[in-house]
Each structure stands twice: as C-alpha cells, then as structure tokens.
Amino acid sequence: MKFDRTFTVEIDHEGIRLPDDAPGSAIGKITIGDFYENFYMHPQPWEIKDYVKQWKLAWKHLENHDTSVFVANVQPNPLVELYILYKIEDTIYIQNSLITGKSYKKMIGKNPYTPETSFLYISERDNSTTKFGKFILKTSEWEVKIIS
C-alpha cells in the first residue's frame, strides 16, 4: 500500500534521549507527512521487539481489513496507548486512543494483550464534535490518502 505522503511508525534513534534510569525502554515516532509525534515505549510487560512485531502485523492487517492499530505503549498498571487506523474508501484516518482503568477492565479484562490480540480491541471511530463556547471541536485525527 502506498500513500500520498510519508506515513511511518518506527523507533526514534535520533530524537529524544531516555534517562539513564529507563533500561529497556525506547522512544517511538509516528510520522505523517511533515508532522511527527514521539511516544514512550514502556519495556514491561512488552519488550521493544514486541512493539516492532506489532507494527509489522498492523501494516499487514490493514491490507485486508478496514481497521488496524499501532500500539505505542503498554504498561502493567494497566494502560495501553494506541494509534487506531480506520480505512474508509481511499483514506486512512488515524486517531489516538487510551485504554486504562475501568475501560481496560471492561474491554480487555484478564485476556492477554499481545501483538497478535491487539486487533481485537479496536474501538469504533470517534467522529463526535464538542461545543466549546462559540467553537465546535471535532475529534482530532490525521488523514492519509491511499494512492495504490
């Protein structure tokens, strides 16, 4: 699948440096066109190789499904940070999502959360708007066009 601009998820070897007291952790980077965002990758319960494996599975999943997900951070407290992808016709919409606390217990519970099972917990696309004074705010998302 090709896109109208750069669209990558990777470990950021050049950017933000981790403190010395963060052994086994890493900084990830999602790039969409000229925009990028860094995220912290906790080393437990997943290892860094699990994140990289999940991203590879996510690209493959997107080829045959209308949704996919890049897992950015998994922590044992429990907390999962995600970039959820929704493919609608020739456009991919990317939204941030956080699963924690009661949401985690309701959605995932005691089931194992692994690179292979991460696709089972993709929520519906949030297409809502919120009125904030005289402004109407739409849920934040990025768009990438599929060109082949």
CB 41 within 8 A of CB 28: yes
- For the chain, the helix, strand and coil percentages under 3-state DSSP, each to the nearest 5: 20, 40, 40
Q: Which residues contact 107 (CB under 8 A, 6 or more apart)?
A: 99, 121, 123
Which one is predicted more confidently, 28 or 137?
A: 28
pLDDT per position as a tens digit, 14-61: 766 666 666 778 999 999 999 999 999 999 999 999 999 999 999 999
The pLDDT mean for the chain works out to 91
pLDDT for 40 equals 92
Task: Please determine, for residue 71, whether its predicted confidence score (pLDDT) is greater than 90.
Answer: yes
Q: In the numeric block, which tokens belong to residue 24?
A: 């086994």
Nearest CA to 84 out of 53, 45, 120 is that of: 120
CATH numbers and ranges of domains, the chain:
7-145 (3.30.2450.20)
CB 138 within 8 A of CB 107: no
